[in-house]
Structure 1
Amino acid sequence: MPLSDTLSLLSGRARLLGALLLGRSAAAEAVCDRLLARWPTHPHLLATRAHLRAQRGAAEAAVADLEALVALAPRRSAGDWFNLGFLFDQLGRLEQAETAFNQALSLDPKLDRVWYGLGLTLIRQRRLDEAVTALKRNTELQPMSPYGWYQLARVYMDRQEPEEARRIIARLKGFEPKVAAQLERETGLLA
């Protein structure tokens, strides 16, 4: 890249950083638009604009940026695939969400949030046995987070396995009593 292009890109990224630091998301997105018009395959700019678009509720536009990003650099980051899967899930595009989450796991099988996202996507598809597997892996990786445990208990109730749900409620009482109480109210089970 010629020096003038390098300097122009650095200057633009400095403007982008300044807008982000000042909390000016619309201005930051406009800077990304201008920079991507000149450097349409810049991974950091695509990821940043996708994030900004998702924040303002433009999920389809964010998906377009993330699809471009993973097409350019499919092995760059498990986080890119997770973000794409998360947005697909939000949009109800469950098969695509599952594919994106699985791609993220192929890059980083220890990324707990991907297991959680995959579990939620599988629940929405009524594939409860597979959801249990994903949520169990999430809770192995994040044993003190109540989210995976909560969803796992709900799946056990859907599968007519109240004793498994009761065990989770008892476990949650040890570190998240409010979530345990919520599950007790919702399921009618007492630990």
Structure 2
Amino acid sequence: MSVNTQQSGKTWPYRLLKLRAITALVFGRREQAEQIFDEMLRRWPQDSYALASRAHLRSQRGARAQAIADLQALVALAPQRSAGDWFNLAYLLEAESRLEEAEAAFRHAVALDAKLDRAWYGLGLCLIRMQRFEEALAALKRNTELQPMSPYGWYQLARVHVDRQEPDEARRIIAHLKGFEPKVAAQLERETGLLA
């Protein structure tokens, strides 16, 4: 049997299951959709779509360990497929305080897509939790370069400067934030006692 014949034999059953899963999701039947993804993965264990979809559903219902396992299988299957896959894995690992693994996954995400601002932000948060402030500064600076109008990176950047006993740098960031996010700037002033 040729490869094309084998693939065409998979096509209709696969498409039907995928359509059933999408329909279940449209009608809010997440448990049913997850069961369909289970069936797809029993039949096609290396299916990226089913792995990513099931991981998402598992994450939503709080089954982080299972979602992490699916995402680990996904990135092992296709390490260069998507920076987003690595980000999703890193995000869940960080939430589970598996910081070294999270750092590695965030770094893989930014290696695949250097403009993935949320991965730079996540990497910065992860490094802060590991008290590696110098590296956190670099990651958060990259995040603020990519998302200059988002206050989140700037807020964390100011906090790192405070932790490093660099009040002048923190004041500079607070002053910058006053130009477009005065509430965040005021929050930083209250939390740090620093006035811009």
Match of 1:54 in 2: 59
Q: Which residue of 1 aligns with 2:3?
A: none
The counterpart of 2:100, out of the listed 95, 103, 110, is 95
Unaligned runs of 5+ in 1: none
Deviations 1:40-96 (A, max 9, x none): 100011001111111111111001000100111000000001111111111111110
1:119 match: 124
TM-score (norm: length of structure 1) = 0.97
1:141 aligned residue (142, 146, 154):
146
Partner of 2:111: 106
1:26 to 18, 26, 31: 31
Larger radius of gyration: 2
For 2:32 and 2:181, the matched residues in 1 are separated by 40
Q: Tell me which amino acid in the other structure corresponds to 2:178.
A: K
1:37 to 42, 52, 65: 42
Q: Which amino acid in structure 1 is aligned with residue 185 of structure 2?
A: A
SS in 1 for 2:114: coil
Q: Displacement, 1:24?
A: 2.2
Could you tell me which of 145, 163, 176 is aligned with 2:168? 163
Match of 2:177 among 152, 165, 172: 172
1:3 CA displacement: 3.3
How big is the shift at 1:111? 0.6
How do 1:67-86 and structure 2 match up within 5 A? 67-86=72-91
User: Which consecutive residues of structure 2, in runs of 5 or more, have no partner in the other structure?
Assistant: 1-5
How many angstroms apart in 2 are the aligned matches of 1:2 and 1:142? 43
CA RMSD of superposed structures (Å) = 1.0
> Aligned pairs, how many?
191
Q: Match for 2:189: what amino acid? A: E
| Residue 64 (1) aligns with residue 64 (2) | no
Return 27-36 or 135-144, whichever deviates more.
27-36
Alpha-carbon distance in 1 for matches of 2:82, 2:43: 23
Deviation at 1:23, TM superposition (A): 2.4
Alignment match of 2:22 (pick from 4, 13, 17): 17
4+ aligned runs moved over 4 Å, structure 1: none
With 63-72 and 4-13 compared, the bigger mean Cα shift is at 4-13
Distance 1:9 1:93 in 2: 35
In the alignment, the residues of structure 1 paired with residue 125 and residue 162 of structure 2 have an alpha-carbon distance, to the nearest angstrom, of 15
2 CA distance for matches of 1:2 and 1:148? 46
Offset of residue 4 of structure 1: 4.0
Tell me by how many angstroms 1:20 deviates. Answer: 1.6
Counterpart Cα distance in 2 of 1:164 and 1:40 = 51
Identity of aligned residues (%): 65
How far apart, CA to CA, are the structure 2 residues paired with 1:28 and 1:172?
44
Q: Match of 2:135?
A: 130
Structure 1: distance between partners of 2:101 and 2:7: 39
